Amino acid sequence: MTFATYAAAQVLRVVPRVRLSQAVGRLCDTHVPAPLSRLAASLYARAYRVNLAEAEASGAYACFDDFFTRKLRDGVRPIAQAAVVSPADGLLAQLGPVGVNGRFAVKATDYRAGELIGDEAEAQRYVGGTFAVVYLSPRDYHRVHAPVPGQLSLVRSMPGDLYPVNSIGERHIRNLFVRNQRVAIVIDTPNLGRVTVVMVGAIIVGRITVTALGGDDTRPGIYPFHPPLALKAGDEIGVFHLGSTAVLFVEPGVTLTHDLGPIRYGEALSSR
């Protein structure tokens, strides 16, 4: 730990993180003239090495949020013929087993799956299964996709804080993932049981949109789908408006396997 990271962590504890994120969100939603939009997108892409050639749209975006949540062109992310594929572009930061009582470890921090997904009883499904953490950096494409074919049966949106999900947050903020706002998207499958993707919010905007629910911000609550919504692997299920992290849980019976490091949505994330 350096003095700089320790000092940054102390500042983060006292700043009004949610209000700051809401203010930045309003700024990002503000429509801007086309020349300014092109300049902002160009500067951001250059600073973070964003590959704009993959984007569906070209030219000016109406607002910065439109740029950040840009869609990809058809075909630039082929979906692997695998039981489970990555739900997002980013860095596969952690992959491992879910242990007794639904416990799993991320960067030496012990978590309970039940607390993260919002249902302790349901978390027992994942005991003996596997979890994976995909961290989305500012350069990444920020839409999240179904890792399996199945039926979207339930969404749980849980309130929380908006600490940064980065090395400073992971090191200095206790129980970071379960303190932040998050949305659990539940997909039932015919062969793999239940699969859950948890979208974890972070500071600066922090909004999460569940595609099937529409709108710009999925409010806290439980949203059952009657009837369930059919999904193919690779179908869009959610959008991050700046930030953050997707956590995937699968039941025993399928092994998640992939080298830690860069990953793209649609890449195989299982051995069968």
One digit per residue, the tens of pLDDT, for the chain of length 272 reads 443 333 333 433 444 344 444 444 455 566 667 676 777 778 878 888 888 889 887 666 777 788 888 899 999 999 999 999 999 999 999 999 999 888 888 766 788 999 999 999 999 999 999 999 999 988 899 999 999 999 999 999 998 776 655 554 455 455 566 778 889 999 999 999 999 999 998 766 568 899 999 877 888 999 999 999 999 999 999 999 876 899 999 999 998 999 999 999 999 998 66
Question: How many domains does the chain divide into?
Answer: 2
In a domain, residue 74? The reply is no
pLDDT of residue 138: 84
194: which strand partners? 188
With contact defined as beta carbons under 8 Å apart, do 173 and 202 qualify? no
In a domain, residue 272? The reply is no
State whether 52 and 100 are in the same domain: no
State whether 112 and 225 are in the same domain: yes
- Tokens matching residue 164: 């940064």
State whether 49 and 117 are in the same domain: no
Question: Which residues are designated catalytic?
Answer: 89, 145, 244
CA distances from 24 to 28, 30, 119, 137, 201 (A): 6, 10, 31, 18, 14
State whether 35 and 125 are in the same domain: no
Sheet of strand 236-241, all strands in order from the earlier edge strand to the far edge:
143-145, 236-241, 207-210
- CB neighbours of residue 179 within 10 Å: 16
**One-letter amino acid for residue 141 of the chain:** Y
Domain residues for the domain of 28 are: 3-68
Domain boundary among 21, 38, 68: 68
In a domain, residue 73? The reply is no
With contact defined as beta carbons under 8 Å apart, do 87 and 148 qualify? no
pTM score, whole prediction: 0.84
Q: Which of 149, 120, 109, 138 is nearest to 245 (CA)?
A: 138
In a domain, residue 270? The reply is no
In a domain, residue 78? The reply is no
> Which residues have a Cβ under 8 Å from the Cβ of 196 and sit 6 or more positions away?
117, 122, 126, 184, 185, 186, 187, 248, 249
* φ and ψ of 133, to 5 deg: -120, 120
State whether 64 and 94 are in the same domain: no
